[in-house]
Amino acid sequence: MILNKATGIRIDGKKHMSKTTPMHEYLNPRFVYLPLIQQNSPLKRTVEVGDTVKIGQTVALREGFGAMPIHASVSGKVTAIKKVWHASGRMVDALEIENDHQNALDDAIRPEPDPSLFTREELVNKMVNAGLSGLGGAGFPTYVKYLAKTPIDVVIINAVECEPYITCDYVMIEKYPEKLLKGLQYFMRAADAKRGVICFKNYNVGIIEALKPLLSHYPNITLFPVKDLYPAGWEKYLVQQVTGRSYPNLPVEAGAIVNNSGTAIVYADVVEHNIPLISRAITISGEGVKEPKNFLVPIGTPVKELIALCGGYADGLDPAKSYYIAGGPMTGRAIMIDELIVNDTLGSVIVKPMPAERNHPACLGCGRCADVCPVFLAPTEIQRAFEMNDKDAVRSLNASKCMQCGLCSYVCPSHIEISDFVFRAKELLRK
């Protein structure tokens, strides 16, 4: 069993800053920038500068593992190949598309007369053709999960939204509850699973209010509230809570598939209307913006424009003295400028004033980082091994098992960014 010692801790979620605002649709930015990389895999362009494209048209291909197409999120003209800031914390090449605001759709986007007739194979192929990737932050190609030969008992929807500040999944469920249920039902059919379970934080009664009136039409789908702990949204934790089983590598070993709630909502449109992955929800929040909000935007939208739609920066805050967390504050990456682009994995940008300089005392040896680690690692020992470039020690300390939840840094009384060292240790082994 997992988490028999480290059961998580309660942290200040700061959800109130954006949770009660409605979903704002911002679907017509002047330019979008589609990164030519996905999950560290470079993409092959299928269009050239000067080409005219429609919404949903294939503009690039992911090759090799997780091969699938990438689609234009607006209609218009490909005007350049530019370097943009990516959620990974580095600059990457991107297709610049100038929006013609005509919203011309690719011919492949059309309603299906009877989605109930699709076979398992056809439902999986729709994931491939839509370029559907997990919208919870990892960006894993969704269809790969459904190629497993292991029998699947349950499809679990992760709507826990564990990270502080982020509320876009919650607001999307309130806005599109039936799409969530339909998407989950299609996932269940694609996996030949007998039941579906939607997991969410137990204080999010809005999810119950949105879904409960519809559940009578989906008898094999149930709701599963989890405790308000971090990291209760961890995939292994959810599988164990729902099934009572653990696994060494992948959820399919426990007869489960886990998908993010946003992915399920998109999948409903994929199956019923052949709309590929061209947009996503994102939270813009933090003490550095005037009015934190949730947005539904085309992939490739500049974050700077969304900050402006939040009323701009907090009064008296100099953008040059701010920093931006791409993703959640526990697992995201700090970026020092607001020239960031929304990609498929970016569920939030947190804007915060630059903190005052703090003295960072050396490790106190208190062991708190090890006490909270969900996978029972010794983070400070991994940090020391990394600093000594001792690959054998890093390997023996099981650094590759780190789930990058950020709890070790969160609880450190010396404010050491331990999680960053452990991540770099993992990269040392990977390379």
What pTM did the predictor assign?
Answer: 0.91
Rounded to a whole number of angstroms, the CA Rg of the chain reads 21
Q: What is the pLDDT of residue 410?
A: 78
Q: Is the Cα torsion angle 258, 262, 265, 268 positive or negative in sign? A: negative
pLDDT at residue 296, rounded to an integer:
98
**Mean pLDDT to the nearest integer, 209-216:** 97
The backbone torsions φ and ψ at residue 337, rounded to the nearest 5 degrees and listed phi first, read -130, 165
pLDDT digits (tens, 9 = 90+) for 26-39: 999 999 999 999 98
Least confident span in 1-5, 70-74, 143-147, 158-162: 1-5
Q: Is 76 exposed, middle or buried (0-12, 13-18, 19+ CB in 10 A)?
A: buried
Amino acid 342 reads: V
Termini Cα distance of the chain: 31
pLDDT for 277-317, tens place per residue?
Answer: 999 999 999 999 999 999 999 999 999 999 999 999 998 88
Compute the distance between CA of residue 201 and CA of residue 77 in angstroms, rounded to an integer: 43
C-alpha to C-alpha distance for 231 and 227, rounded to whole angstroms: 10
Mean pLDDT of 53-58: 98
pLDDT range class, residue 357, cuts 50, 70, 90? low
* Across 241-257, average pLDDT: 94
Choose the most confident range, by mean pLDDT, from 19-33, 320-334, 416-430.
Answer: 19-33
Say if residue 6's pLDDT is above 60: no
Q: In the predicted model, is pLDDT for residue 197 greater than 80?
A: yes
Helical ranges in 280-390 per DSSP H: 303-309, 368-372, 379-387
Which residue in 178, 82, 71 sits closest to 132, CA to CA? Answer: 71
Q: Residues 6 or more apart from 112 whose CB is under 8 A from it?
A: 118, 271, 272, 273, 274
| pLDDT of 4 over the 50 cut | no
Cβ contact 156:256 at 8 Å: yes
The closest alpha carbon to 275, from 79, 117, 90, 111, belongs to: 111
Cβ–Cβ < 8 Å for 170, 204: yes
Q: What are phi and psi of 190, to 5 degrees?
A: -65, -25
Reported confidence tier of residue 53, pLDDT bands at 50, 70, 90: very high
Residue 358: per-residue pLDDT: 57
**pLDDT, tens only, 124-183:** 999 999 999 999 888 899 999 999 899 999 999 999 998 999 999 999 999 999 999 999
> Among 97-101, 212-216, 400-404, where is mean pLDDT lowest?
400-404
Take residue 317 and report the two structure tokens written for it: 């805050």
Give the model's pLDDT for residue 229: 87
List helix spans (H) across 70-167. 120-129, 142-145
Between CA 171 and CA 16 the distance in angstroms is 12
**In a 3-state reduction of DSSP, which class is residue 430?**
helix
Domains of the chain are: 109-273 (3.40.50.11540), 368-430 (no CATH)
- Segment 361-386 shows an average pLDDT of 83
Q: 371-380 b/e with 16+ CB inside 10 Å = b?
A: ebbbeebbbb
Q: In what order do the strands lie in the sheet with 31-35?
A: 31-35, 91-99, 76-85, 52-53
Residue type, 214: L
The predicted pLDDT at position 402 comes to: 85
Cite the beta strand spans of 87-172 per DSSP E: 91-99, 154-158
d(CA 287, CA 322): 10
